[in-house]
Chain A
Amino acid sequence: MAISFDKALGDMPDKLALYGKRSSLLASNIANADTPGFKARDIDFQTMLAKAGGAQLALKTTHAGHIGGAGSMSANLDPLYRIPVQPSLDGNTVNIQVEQAEFTENAVRYQSTLTFLTGRFRGLKAAIKGE
Protein backbone atom coordinates (compact mmCIF):
# COMPACT_ATOMS: atom_id res chain seq x y z
CA MET A 1 0.00 0.00 0.00
CA ALA A 2 1.47 3.31 -1.07
CA ILE A 3 1.43 6.34 1.15
CA SER A 4 -0.19 9.31 -0.61
CA PHE A 5 1.17 12.54 0.79
CA ASP A 6 -1.65 14.53 -0.79
CA LYS A 7 -4.28 12.47 0.97
CA ALA A 8 -2.35 12.38 4.22
CA LEU A 9 -2.22 16.17 4.44
CA GLY A 10 -5.84 16.71 3.34
CA ASP A 11 -6.90 20.30 2.69
CA MET A 12 -4.41 21.72 5.18
CA PRO A 13 -1.86 23.08 2.66
CA ASP A 14 -4.71 24.93 0.91
CA LYS A 15 -5.95 26.24 4.23
CA LEU A 16 -2.46 27.46 5.07
CA ALA A 17 -2.23 29.34 1.76
CA LEU A 18 -5.64 30.89 2.35
CA TYR A 19 -4.74 32.01 5.88
CA GLY A 20 -1.56 33.48 4.45
CA LYS A 21 -3.52 35.44 1.83
CA ARG A 22 -5.97 36.61 4.44
CA SER A 23 -3.22 37.82 6.77
CA SER A 24 -1.80 39.96 3.97
CA LEU A 25 -5.29 41.36 3.31
CA LEU A 26 -5.78 42.20 7.00
CA ALA A 27 -2.28 43.70 7.16
CA SER A 28 -3.29 45.98 4.26
CA ASN A 29 -6.34 47.09 6.24
CA ILE A 30 -4.24 47.87 9.31
CA ALA A 31 -1.60 49.64 7.22
CA ASN A 32 -4.26 51.84 5.62
CA ALA A 33 -6.04 52.71 8.86
CA ASP A 34 -5.25 56.41 8.27
CA THR A 35 -5.58 56.57 4.47
CA PRO A 36 -8.50 58.73 3.33
CA GLY A 37 -11.04 56.87 1.20
CA PHE A 38 -9.60 53.41 1.84
CA LYS A 39 -12.20 50.62 2.04
CA ALA A 40 -11.41 47.68 4.33
CA ARG A 41 -11.56 44.26 2.65
CA ASP A 42 -11.73 40.69 3.87
CA ILE A 43 -12.40 37.18 2.58
CA ASP A 44 -15.71 35.50 3.36
CA PHE A 45 -13.95 32.60 5.00
CA GLN A 46 -16.83 30.22 5.66
CA THR A 47 -17.94 30.38 2.02
CA MET A 48 -14.39 29.81 0.79
CA LEU A 49 -13.91 26.79 3.04
CA ALA A 50 -17.31 25.37 2.12
CA LYS A 51 -16.49 25.79 -1.56
CA ALA A 52 -13.14 24.10 -1.06
CA GLY A 53 -14.85 21.10 0.47
CA GLY A 54 -17.43 20.85 -2.30
CA ALA A 55 -17.15 20.11 -5.98
CA GLN A 56 -17.53 23.70 -7.18
CA LEU A 57 -13.80 24.23 -7.40
CA ALA A 58 -13.12 21.21 -9.58
CA LEU A 59 -12.21 21.98 -13.18
CA LYS A 60 -15.02 21.47 -15.65
CA THR A 61 -14.40 18.63 -18.10
CA THR A 62 -16.08 19.04 -21.48
CA HIS A 63 -14.34 16.16 -23.22
CA ALA A 64 -13.70 12.56 -22.27
CA GLY A 65 -9.96 13.13 -22.63
CA HIS A 66 -9.90 16.02 -20.15
CA ILE A 67 -8.41 15.55 -16.73
CA GLY A 68 -10.56 17.02 -13.96
CA GLY A 69 -8.30 19.00 -11.66
CA ALA A 70 -9.19 19.46 -8.05
CA GLY A 71 -8.63 23.22 -8.13
CA SER A 72 -7.38 25.13 -5.14
CA MET A 73 -8.92 27.59 -2.71
CA SER A 74 -6.47 30.36 -3.33
CA ALA A 75 -7.13 30.25 -7.06
CA ASN A 76 -10.38 32.20 -6.95
CA LEU A 77 -9.97 34.33 -3.93
CA ASP A 78 -12.22 37.35 -4.09
CA PRO A 79 -12.01 39.87 -1.28
CA LEU A 80 -15.25 41.57 -0.31
CA TYR A 81 -15.66 45.00 1.24
CA ARG A 82 -16.42 45.24 4.92
CA ILE A 83 -19.65 46.88 6.08
CA PRO A 84 -18.44 49.77 8.26
CA VAL A 85 -19.68 50.10 11.84
CA GLN A 86 -18.60 53.72 12.13
CA PRO A 87 -17.77 55.19 8.72
CA SER A 88 -15.51 58.20 9.04
CA LEU A 89 -15.82 61.55 7.30
CA ASP A 90 -12.82 60.94 5.01
CA GLY A 91 -14.39 57.78 3.53
CA ASN A 92 -12.13 55.33 5.38
CA THR A 93 -13.94 52.20 6.61
CA VAL A 94 -11.12 50.58 8.61
CA ASN A 95 -12.04 49.78 12.20
CA ILE A 96 -8.61 49.17 13.68
CA GLN A 97 -9.85 47.15 16.68
CA VAL A 98 -11.82 44.77 14.46
CA GLU A 99 -8.86 44.36 12.12
CA GLN A 100 -6.44 43.67 14.96
CA ALA A 101 -8.77 41.06 16.44
CA GLU A 102 -9.24 39.40 13.04
CA PHE A 103 -5.52 39.45 12.37
CA THR A 104 -4.74 37.78 15.70
CA GLU A 105 -7.47 35.19 15.16
CA ASN A 106 -6.13 34.47 11.68
CA ALA A 107 -2.59 34.07 13.08
CA VAL A 108 -3.85 31.59 15.68
CA ARG A 109 -5.69 29.62 12.97
CA TYR A 110 -2.55 29.59 10.84
CA GLN A 111 -0.50 28.36 13.76
CA SER A 112 -3.00 25.65 14.70
CA THR A 113 -3.06 24.40 11.10
CA LEU A 114 0.73 24.27 11.26
CA THR A 115 0.52 22.25 14.48
CA PHE A 116 -1.91 19.79 12.89
CA LEU A 117 0.36 19.49 9.86
CA THR A 118 3.34 18.76 12.12
CA GLY A 119 1.27 16.02 13.75
CA ARG A 120 0.49 14.49 10.37
CA PHE A 121 4.16 14.58 9.41
CA ARG A 122 5.05 12.89 12.66
CA GLY A 123 2.52 10.16 11.89
CA LEU A 124 3.93 9.71 8.40
CA LYS A 125 7.46 9.49 9.76
CA ALA A 126 6.41 6.89 12.28
CA ALA A 127 4.74 4.91 9.49
CA ILE A 128 7.82 5.11 7.26
CA LYS A 129 10.22 4.06 9.99
CA GLY A 130 7.86 1.33 11.12
CA GLU A 131 8.48 1.97 14.78
Chain B
Amino acid sequence: MSLFNIFDIAGSAMSSESIRLNVTASNLANAQSVGPDEASTYHARHPVFSSVMQSLQGGDAASVGVKVDGIIESQAPLERRYQPGHPLADDEGFIYMPNVSMVDEMANMISASRSYQSNVEVLNTSKQLMLATLRLGQ
Protein backbone atom coordinates (compact mmCIF):
# COMPACT_ATOMS: atom_id res chain seq x y z
CA MET B 1 0.00 0.00 0.00
CA SER B 2 1.55 3.22 -1.20
CA LEU B 3 0.20 5.37 1.63
CA PHE B 4 2.56 3.47 3.94
CA ASN B 5 5.51 4.79 1.89
CA ILE B 6 4.59 8.32 2.91
CA PHE B 7 5.51 7.54 6.50
CA ASP B 8 9.03 6.62 5.34
CA ILE B 9 9.33 9.61 3.02
CA ALA B 10 8.01 12.24 5.41
CA GLY B 11 9.90 10.57 8.26
CA SER B 12 13.21 10.75 6.40
CA ALA B 13 12.56 14.41 5.56
CA MET B 14 11.71 15.21 9.18
CA SER B 15 14.87 13.54 10.42
CA SER B 16 16.97 15.43 7.83
CA GLU B 17 15.36 18.74 8.72
CA SER B 18 15.94 18.11 12.40
CA ILE B 19 19.63 17.47 11.66
CA ARG B 20 19.64 20.78 9.81
CA LEU B 21 18.07 22.50 12.81
CA ASN B 22 20.62 20.82 15.05
CA VAL B 23 23.52 22.09 12.93
CA THR B 24 22.02 25.58 12.92
CA ALA B 25 21.76 25.45 16.71
CA SER B 26 25.45 24.46 16.92
CA ASN B 27 26.41 27.33 14.63
CA LEU B 28 24.39 29.88 16.60
CA ALA B 29 25.70 28.57 19.92
CA ASN B 30 29.29 28.82 18.69
CA ALA B 31 28.97 32.18 16.94
CA GLN B 32 31.22 33.76 19.58
CA SER B 33 33.61 30.85 20.22
CA VAL B 34 36.89 32.57 19.45
CA GLY B 35 40.11 30.63 18.94
CA PRO B 36 43.89 31.16 18.93
CA ASP B 37 44.44 30.05 15.29
CA GLU B 38 42.64 29.28 12.04
CA ALA B 39 42.53 25.50 12.46
CA SER B 40 41.19 25.20 15.99
CA THR B 41 38.52 27.89 15.71
CA TYR B 42 34.91 26.85 15.07
CA HIS B 43 33.85 26.88 11.41
CA ALA B 44 30.18 27.14 10.41
CA ARG B 45 28.73 23.74 9.51
CA HIS B 46 26.11 22.92 6.88
CA PRO B 47 24.33 19.63 6.12
CA VAL B 48 24.27 18.35 2.52
CA PHE B 49 20.93 16.81 1.50
CA SER B 50 20.48 14.20 -1.18
CA SER B 51 17.47 12.20 -2.31
CA VAL B 52 17.16 8.46 -1.71
CA MET B 53 15.33 6.38 -4.28
CA GLN B 54 13.29 3.87 -2.30
CA SER B 55 13.30 1.65 -5.39
CA LEU B 56 16.93 0.82 -4.65
CA GLN B 57 15.74 -0.60 -1.34
CA GLY B 58 13.06 -2.71 -2.98
CA GLY B 59 10.39 -0.04 -2.68
CA ASP B 60 8.32 1.97 -5.09
CA ALA B 61 10.02 4.03 -7.83
CA ALA B 62 7.60 6.89 -7.17
CA SER B 63 8.71 7.47 -3.60
CA VAL B 64 11.86 9.43 -2.96
CA GLY B 65 13.11 10.08 0.56
CA VAL B 66 15.86 12.39 1.82
CA LYS B 67 19.08 11.71 3.62
CA VAL B 68 21.91 13.82 4.95
CA ASP B 69 25.03 12.97 2.95
CA GLY B 70 27.31 14.68 5.40
CA ILE B 71 28.10 17.86 7.24
CA ILE B 72 30.55 20.23 5.54
CA GLU B 73 32.51 22.97 7.24
CA SER B 74 32.41 26.42 5.69
CA GLN B 75 35.73 27.39 4.07
CA ALA B 76 35.08 31.12 4.25
CA PRO B 77 38.04 33.01 5.79
CA LEU B 78 37.84 33.70 9.51
CA GLU B 79 37.82 37.21 10.85
CA ARG B 80 41.04 38.19 12.65
CA ARG B 81 40.52 40.60 15.47
CA TYR B 82 43.24 42.50 17.33
CA GLN B 83 42.72 41.88 21.06
CA PRO B 84 46.12 41.60 22.71
CA GLY B 85 44.56 41.35 26.19
CA HIS B 86 42.55 38.25 25.29
CA PRO B 87 43.81 35.04 26.95
CA LEU B 88 43.55 33.19 23.60
CA ALA B 89 45.38 35.84 21.55
CA ASP B 90 48.34 34.61 19.46
CA ASP B 91 51.89 36.06 19.52
CA GLU B 92 50.85 39.05 17.42
CA GLY B 93 47.82 39.73 19.64
CA PHE B 94 45.14 38.43 17.25
CA ILE B 95 42.16 36.18 17.99
CA TYR B 96 40.06 34.40 15.35
CA MET B 97 36.28 34.74 15.14
CA PRO B 98 34.14 31.86 13.76
CA ASN B 99 32.78 32.46 10.23
CA VAL B 100 29.16 32.03 11.39
CA SER B 101 26.74 34.47 9.77
CA MET B 102 23.87 35.12 12.18
CA VAL B 103 21.55 36.26 9.37
CA ASP B 104 22.23 33.12 7.29
CA GLU B 105 21.66 30.91 10.29
CA MET B 106 18.36 32.54 11.27
CA ALA B 107 17.07 32.25 7.68
CA ASN B 108 18.22 28.63 7.59
CA MET B 109 16.46 27.91 10.87
CA ILE B 110 13.13 29.32 9.67
CA SER B 111 13.40 27.43 6.38
CA ALA B 112 14.13 24.18 8.22
CA SER B 113 11.25 24.60 10.65
CA ARG B 114 8.81 25.42 7.82
CA SER B 115 9.89 22.33 5.88
CA TYR B 116 9.52 20.24 9.02
CA GLN B 117 5.98 21.58 9.50
CA SER B 118 5.06 20.75 5.88
CA ASN B 119 6.17 17.17 6.39
CA VAL B 120 4.24 16.83 9.65
CA GLU B 121 1.17 18.06 7.78
CA VAL B 122 1.72 15.48 5.03
CA LEU B 123 2.08 12.74 7.62
CA ASN B 124 -1.09 13.76 9.46
CA THR B 125 -3.14 13.90 6.25
CA SER B 126 -1.90 10.48 5.16
CA LYS B 127 -2.68 9.03 8.55
CA GLN B 128 -6.24 10.35 8.38
CA LEU B 129 -6.66 8.92 4.87
CA MET B 130 -5.42 5.52 6.01
CA LEU B 131 -7.75 5.49 8.99
CA ALA B 132 -10.64 6.49 6.74
CA THR B 133 -9.72 3.63 4.38
CA LEU B 134 -9.79 1.22 7.31
CA ARG B 135 -13.31 2.33 8.16
CA LEU B 136 -14.44 1.80 4.55
CA GLY B 137 -17.84 0.18 4.18
CA GLN B 138 -18.93 0.71 7.76
Contact = CB atoms under 8 A, between A and B. Distances in A.
B119 interface: yes
Interface residues of A, number: 32
- Is chain B's binding surface mostly helix, strand, loop or mixed? helix
B60 A34 contact: no
Contacts of A121: 136-137
B45 to A, nearest CB: 16
Interface string A75-99: 0010100000000000000001000
Given A79-B62, A104-B125, A30 B13 contact: yes
Contacts of B5: 24, 27
Interface string B4-36: 011001101100110010000000000000000
Contact of A114 (B17, B66, B136): B136
B13 A23 contact: no
Nearest to A36: B49
Contacts of A28: 9, 51, 62-65
Contact of B115 (A20, A26, A33, A104): A33
Contacts of A16: 133
Interface in B50-108: 50-51, 60, 62-66
Interface of A: 16-17, 20-21, 23-28, 30-36, 38, 41, 77, 79, 96, 100, 103-104, 107, 110-111, 114, 117-118, 121
6 contacts: A20-B2, A23-B3, A33-B118, A35-B66, A96-B115, A121-B137
Given A36-B49, A103-B122, A118-B137, 15 more contacts: A16-B133, A21-B2, A24-B2, A24-B9, A24-B63, A26-B122, A28-B64, A31-B122, A34-B20, A34-B112, A36-B48, A36-B50, A77-B62, A111-B132, A117-B137
